[in-house]
Amino acid sequence: MRYQLSINEQQFAVEIGEVAAGYVQVSVNGSPYTVFIGKDEAPAASRTAPTSVPPQAPAIPKTPPAAAPKRVCVAGAGTVTAPIPGLILRINVAVGDTVTPGRTVAVMEAMKMENNLTSAVSGTVQEIRVQKGSEVATGDVIMVIA
């Protein structure tokens, strides 16, 4: 399935593959990701996504995979922000570096998972507002890309 999404006035081309054992291959603006789809605990009236698996999808195995994939967080246009509170583990770029959409520019730990923070725009890193070991809150600006 293919979708065009608009998030904070930024356009994303999203292609979603078939669900297999709770995982689905997703392509966002040409960058591939493996996404885990967890059990939806919301009341039936508030669900926004289908809860049934297509009949052609393989059966879910009895044992879960050894390791869940890393979550990937895409930043808004021009800035990379913390999607949730966490701890900065790595900064993968320096001021003056050129980045392209989808490039991992920093890694943070949140909820006992490593989260890749990626650039959503092409440009040059203008400012880095955190360092390794910094604690960040939701929405804190990690870096500015112009």
SS3 label, residue 44 = helix
- What amino acid occupies position 131? Q
Q: List the chain domain ranges.
A: 2-41, 71-145
pLDDT (0 to 100) of residue 40: 58
* CATH code of the domain made up of 71-145: 2.40.50.100
pLDDT at residue 95 in the model: 95
Write out the chain's pLDDT in tens, 146 residues. Answer: 888 887 777 788 888 877 776 777 777 877 777 777 766 554 444 334 444 444 444 444 444 444 544 444 444 458 899 888 999 999 999 999 999 998 999 999 988 889 999 988 899 999 999 999 999 998 899 999 98
Residue type at 104 in one-letter notation: T
pLDDT value at position 26? 78
pLDDT at position 53: 42
pLDDT the model gives residue 41? 52
Instruction: Give the pLDDT score at 52.
Output: 41
What single string gives the DSSP state of each residue in 102-129?
A: T-EEEEEEETTEEEEEE-SS-EEEEEE-
Residue 56 DSSP SS3: coil
Q: Which residue bears the tokens 């509170």?
A: 85
Q: Which pLDDT belongs to residue 77?
A: 53
Structure tokens at 90: 């790595």
